A and B are shown apart, each in its own frame.
Chain A
Amino acid sequence: MIPISLPRTALLAALLAIVLFPLIGATFYVQLGAKIMIMAIFALSLDLLVGHTGLVSLGQAAYFGVAAYVLALISPQYEAANLWLTLPAAMAVAAVAALIIGFLVVRTAGVYFIMVTLAFAQMLYSVFHDTKLGGGSDGIYIYVRPELNIAGFKPLDLENPMQFYYFVLILLAVVYAFLNRVLHAPFGRALAGIRLNEQRMRSIGFPVFSYKLGAFVLAGALAGLAGYLAACQFGFVNPDILAWQQSGVVLMMVILGGMGRLHGAVLGAFSYVLLQEVFSAPALLGAYAKHWQLVMGSLIVMIVLVFPHGIGGFLDIVLRRISYRPPSSARTDGT
């Protein structure tokens, strides 16, 4: 017999809703759903650094943007690029960028780390903004989305919004499951130790620099995956994609959802994009909708004040209360 509890039912219902949504939702909302899930992958990549390693990066958009540019630059102009080549290439370039930048920035800590990650991201921004590479400040178009082609068989047509939605959903699930494994593996446990007490980690023999650099590169590659998907979806890449505002948005998602919990990053991305949609639409705020950032900013400040562990942390507490059973049932903590 399967025990039926409210949290489990709620989780199943939410997953079912996400899976079935494209069948009933209007195309606009299906595309919005895909955009949210792409941002969720991006937020997961940053949470690996911020929430799980204690490295607050304000330059994560650099790797997101670099991968987006890789797709734009290597796509043939009037035909579909091969996803099996372009996706690994985009992620690899993002990872290499993270390796080079990480090698320099991971030596710093605290506010200096924030500053140098920001500085390197802005340098990349300038490269794309001020040179002819990638069309300068005008950006470049990707006219045809990449093709998922397995020996002539095409399981998914990424031009179709519904199929693109499912493609992104599968990748989000894979990234989530992968990070969940990584965090429970020796590598992830070492990152948790580094977040709590770096000095102690060194004195018991961990080469902390290498572990942080490893996390930085992994986070860069995953941000690259998100950037690649974003470029696919929008069919357009310009320098704003790696500007500091983009790094700030994804950091806000992580904080809003609750740092250091994977479901927090996903919830943060969902909440942020949905709130932005609501506040920037004239339906709710009328003529004030163009000042949506003001409302949004105030709301985020309030949420963070009321829920210090973000929306994810708040939900954890609620679910724990609801599903409280006598202590005999051993609870396993996912963090």
Chain B
Amino acid sequence: MTGGEILKVRGLCKTFGGLAAVDDVSLQVRTGELHAVIGPNGAGKTTLINLLSGDLPPSSGSILFRDQDIIKLPPERRSHLGIGRSYQKTNIFLGFTVLENCRLAAQSRAPRLLNWWRDALSYNDELEQARRALAAVALADRADDVALALSHGEQRQLEIAMCLATDPQLLLLDEPLAGMGTEESQKMVELIGRLADARAILLVEHDMDAVFQLADVLTVMVNGKVLATGAPAEIRANHEVQSAYLGSSDEIL
């Protein structure tokens, strides 16, 4: 079931020099809702995620998360408020074990800046939390392997498990299916579907089958602007969207 609006974005802009990568974007995401953002390459989808996660400072606009203005907060503060993100290019600690990747994410919830003595592996709560996150993405049996040894698909799963270990209420997923095979993709789609039950998810994805399978709400972006927002059926029937985006099938892939 969908709850209240957890994320409200109003008039968000980001310009790089003269180029408006994100131009007056407004949208909202509710708890329990999966909000997919689609659009051709260069539409500004990843920039939008970077603005929401705090990796990039916006030029103007407002971002309310649980009714709090977070526009000036750095990524680590947003993470503590309950925003987790995955990256388009796999962004994990390749030299650490799979478990350590998640344990470190769990450790961030209990700030131990001045804990210089006790062994990090002796905090059982955090290890438990890390193992739960790995179990949620079906990586529990790879816990002791080095992240570098995982397949591409498994690394994408680990990326999401790291987010889960921080127990976010809003997940920003940037093309989680990128570069995945059919079977891996299907597993990931099922995983994302499960995650959406209790959280709000903003999903950027090129795989239209997955998007229409998962999304409760769709936002179509073209050249940094929102072209249309609505339920998947409405978007499918929208003539503007069809001509600008869905119609030219070569751009979808």
Residues of A near any B CB (own CB < 8 A):
181-182, 184-190, 192-193, 196-197, 199-208, 210-211, 214, 218
Q: Closest approach, in angstroms, between the C-beta of A334 and any C-beta of chain B?
A: 13
Residues from chain A with Cβ under 8 Å of B93 in the complex: 193, 196-197, 200
Contact of A181 among B92, B96, B111, B117 (CB under 8 A): B117
Contact of A202 among B74, B120, B123, B162 (CB under 8 A): B74
Residues from chain B with Cβ under 8 Å of A202 in the complex: 74-76, 79
Tell yes or no: B191 within 8 A of A by CB.
no
Q: Say whether B94 contacts A203, CB under 8 Å.
A: no
Interface of A is mostly: helix
Q: Say whether B119 contacts A199, CB under 8 Å.
A: no
Name the 4 nearest CB pairs between A and B, nearest first: A205-B79, A186-B112, A205-B108, A202-B75
Q: Say whether B116 contacts A188, CB under 8 Å.
A: yes
Q: Say whether B109 contacts A214, CB under 8 Å.
A: no
- Chain B window 74-101, contacts with chain A (Cβ cutoff 8 Å), 1 for yes, 0 for no: 1110011000110100011111100010
Residues from chain B with Cβ under 8 Å of A186 in the complex: 107, 110, 112, 115, 118, 120, 123
Q: A187-B113, A187-B115 are contacts. A206–B120 as well, Cβ < 8 Å?
A: no
Residues from chain B with Cβ under 8 Å of A205 in the complex: 76, 79-80, 105, 108-109, 166
Cα of A112 to Cα of B112 in the assembled complex, Å: 28
Total number of B residues with any Cβ neighbor in A under 8 Å: 40
Residues from chain B with Cβ under 8 Å of A207 in the complex: 76, 111, 113
Cα of A23 to Cα of B103 in the assembled complex, Å: 48
Residues from chain B with Cβ under 8 Å of A193 in the complex: 93, 96, 104
Residues from chain A with Cβ under 8 Å of B100 in the complex: 189
Q: What residue in chain B is nearest A210 (Cβ atoms)?
A: B113
Q: Say whether B112 contacts A204, CB under 8 Å.
A: no
Contact of A189 among B107, B117, B166 (CB under 8 A): B107
Q: Say whether B108 contacts A185, CB under 8 Å.
A: no
Q: Closest approach, in angstroms, between the C-beta of B53 and any C-beta of chain A?
A: 6
Can you list 11 residue pairs at the A/B interface with Cβ under 8 Å?
A181-B116, A188-B116, A189-B100, A189-B120, A193-B104, A196-B94, A200-B87, A200-B93, A202-B74, A207-B111, A214-B114
Q: Closest approach, in angstroms, between the C-beta of A289 and any C-beta of chain B?
A: 43
Q: A203-B79, A204-B105 are contacts. A185–B116 as well, Cβ < 8 Å?
A: yes
Cα of A288 to Cα of B125 in the assembled complex, Å: 63
Cα of A208 to Cα of B108 in the assembled complex, Å: 11
